[in-house]
Structure 1
Amino acid sequence: MGRRPENPVVRPLLAVGDVWDRISPWIPLAITVVVTILLVWVVRWLVKRTQAKDPSDSTFRVQVATAGAVLVGIVALIFALPDGSDSDLALSVVGLVVTGALAISSQSIIANAMAGLMLRSVGSFKPGDFIEVAGHLGRVSELDLFHTEIQSTDRDLITLPNSLMVNEPVRVVRSSGTIVSANASIGYDVSRHQLEELFVEAGLAAGLLEPFVQVVDLGDYSVSYRIAGFLEDPRSLVVTRSKLRGAILDCLSEAGIEIMSPMYVARRAVDSDPVLPHQVAAPAVTGYRRTAEDRVFDKAEAAGRIESTKAELAEAHTTLAELQQDLSNVDGDGEGPRLQAAVSRQEQLIERLERRHSRLQQRFSDD
């Protein structure tokens, strides 16, 4: 039987059908790509239009909306793959990529959130407090779950992640008051008693309470002094620091005393007379004078008194238990009244210690 000749009209149709069979499975994918591009464009246009009146964060919103539209388009492309393609594998790969990206980025997010909860629970500072962390000094303007915002002395807003607030030491200016200090270097030819009077006068002029003076260092050519005092209202911390330095300059200038800069070098002949300070009598101290340690370490002192009171309470309870045990074991009448009186005195002592402990705890909490 002979071979049937091919129809010249059917051959092109078969070729077109073969091409169509190859292209048709990919048409939904191509349509999905076009729709995704249109979706991204429409989303960006809508976001820009809605944020036209408030362009402050429009870029961020556009980026987020674009990322969401692209993610939706990628998922749609996976579902639009031809039947022969492994769409489940592609979807799994995209899921792994997205999950990995979220896992990597969520480490800092979770760390900041946990740090924010820790800062809230500890409560070492609150909005309005002066703090210094990682070289940044300012007042807390916002305490959020993920970040802490402070306003610097230049009125700038500084955003710090909460993880930094936990990992770095935070210096908190107490709302009950703080110590303001300044250093000055004076030559050895000036009596320290005269300087103490001038420095105390400068501290009072700056509005500080109970100013005190400390000798910080005996240098090669000058003596370094620290002038400090208590500031009741820490809201004026920045201004008071400047006022204290200005008052020191004014007091020393009026007394004719020169401040020795770090670059000052004193030279004299070997056989010359020694440079000694002018002898000035130390001021007489009458009555009790509160020391610098009493003001500087007041909270630590209060904590120490609380601990010592707790130890005294524990010892008093132990003694009371022993007296009560001895009283219960007494057979005769001779020792009974004496032990009963001792038990009564011990109970009164415990009552006084508990009242003292409550007062100290209240003061410690108020600080």
Structure 2
Amino acid sequence: MCLQPNLFTLFWPLLVSLVLVTLFLSLLNWLLLKRHSHLSGEKKLPRQLTMLVANIVGIIAIVLTLPVSEAIQNQILALIGILLSGMVAFSSTSIMTNVMAGLVLRFNKPFRIGDFVRVNGFSGRVAEMGLLDTEIQTETRELISFANSVLVNSPLTVVRSSGAIISVELSLGYEIHHSKIEKHLLSAASNCGLEDSFVQVIGLGDYSVSYRIAGLLTDVKSMLSARSKLHKAVLDSLHQAGIEIVSPAFTNTRPQEPGSVMIPAAPRKTKFANHEDNRPEAVIFDKAEEAEAVHQDRVALEEQLAALQAALKDANGEDKNLLKEQLEFTRMKLDELNNTQPKQEGSPAPAEQKLASK
């Protein structure tokens, strides 16, 4: 009869610790993850790490309440430490490399969300920056995830936000003087809205001269449509000047009637003429543009929040109350922006690729 009280006295600390640890971990899991299930993987990562640490602490707390001797408790804790060390040793080779590379990218800031980048033969706009990988949306609307270690260890090309050089190369015959070609090519670049445009002679072939027309595009978000417009403007400018854009050997492979030229007639303008003004970037880089807009709004709200906090320190009376209201409103908008559910794709595109860290 006296064994039951002894057993209860022996095991009740363990039972209490089990109940308390279970309740605490369940509550913490609901606060950090369950009610924020809409967060992206990057924002969930710190919460998941917090839950991992909390679980480890909970296990240690349960071990310390086991009804065994202190030596056995130390052996159990040592075993747990060995298991954790082994897991970290086997998994940290690539994970820690990518984590450290992600921290390097965040501190150095070689690019931002929405920037045009080119790495390992792939080019596109940055759609998401995570602690382990960075997602790029290509010109074919594919989403490619690069391990951060790849971006740190590979040559990375970033288009400057202040502007980019847009160029077109073409070959023309020797019978046309280069000054005449230069005038019409510069006119084409000017019609496209390019600044500081210039023409280069980049090659003297056996049958033709190679030219390059280039100019500065300040609105880098419209690079794709700007290239297309420059190609069209070069065609229109040279054809309107009566200059053929054909190979000098063209008549040798396809005889023509005397006096005929290969210049297509310009079509009449129709009600659909402005259709070409639509920006393809809005469809191609939809996720990147949405991510850039959210990032810019977040930065603006954070700057506004810092300015209000600084002004609140020196405010008095009604001004202080007004600043408090503005501060709370700004915090609310920032929380709403941080908790905004990211745009979901209807179905995963088969062209999406994952480039693993080597």
- TM-score of the superposed pair, with normalisation by structure 2: 0.47
Give 1 or 2 for the bigger CA radius of gyration: 1
TM-score (norm 1): 0.46
